[in-house]
């Protein structure tokens, strides 16, 4: 089944404890990105990647890191999480850039930072 998977789906952690949220897609998509969703602010892009070893900042990259060492994986790294990073996170992928390709979203990761 063609899909985007994320792990973990739920995570409660404490301030400063490094964590990684994994994202994987099995559709051979070139483009992958991360969004966060917050009440009143909607969905905002954190980082995106147009291909292996090519990443760029989105609208809210502060406090996050990403890497794209393999085409199928695009992990989101929080080196020192803070309570303002409590959010619902989505990974998305598509064959090419979003302006001409349908985006597919993962199931979401609900993160709470205490």
Q: Token pair of 71, please? A: 């085409």
Q: Token pair of 96, please? A: 């090419």
Judged by CB under 8 A, does residue 25 bind another protein? no
Judged by CB under 8 A, does residue 92 bind another protein? yes
Selected range binding another protein among 18-26, 64-72, 76-84, 98-106, rule: CB under 8 A: 98-106
d(CA 29, CA 27): 5
Buried/exposed code over 61-96 (b: 16+ C-beta within 10 A; e: otherwise) = beebebbbeeebebbbebeebeeebbbebbbbbbee
Selected range binding another protein among 19-27, 66-74, 78-86, 105-113, rule: CB under 8 A: 105-113
Q: Binding another protein by CB under 8 A: which of 53, 56, 70, 79?
A: 56
> Residue 100 CB, nearest distance to another protein (Å)?
6
Give the residue with the Cβ less far from another protein, 36 or 81: 36
Q: Token pair of 91, please? A: 């990974």
Which helix (DSSP H) or strand (DSSP E) does residue 41 occupy?
Answer: none
Selected range binding another protein among 15-23, 66-74, 79-87, 106-114, rule: CB under 8 A: 106-114
Q: Binding another protein by CB under 8 A: which of 59, 70, 83, 114?
A: 59
């Amino acid at each position: 089944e063609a899909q985007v998977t994320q792990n973990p789906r739920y995570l409660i952690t404490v301030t400063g404890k490094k964590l990684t949220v994994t994202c994987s897609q099995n559709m051979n998509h070139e483009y992958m990105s991360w969004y966060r969703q917050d009440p009143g602010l909607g969905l905002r892009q954190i980082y995106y990647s147009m291909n292996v070893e090519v990443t760029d900042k989105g609208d809210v990259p502060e406090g996050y890191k990403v890497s794209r060492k393999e085409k199928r994986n695009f992990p989101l790294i929080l080196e020192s999480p803070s309570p303002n990073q409590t959010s619902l996170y989505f990974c998305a992928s598509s064959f090419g850039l979003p302006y001409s390709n349908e985006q597919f979203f993962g199931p979401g990761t609900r993160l709470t930072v205490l």
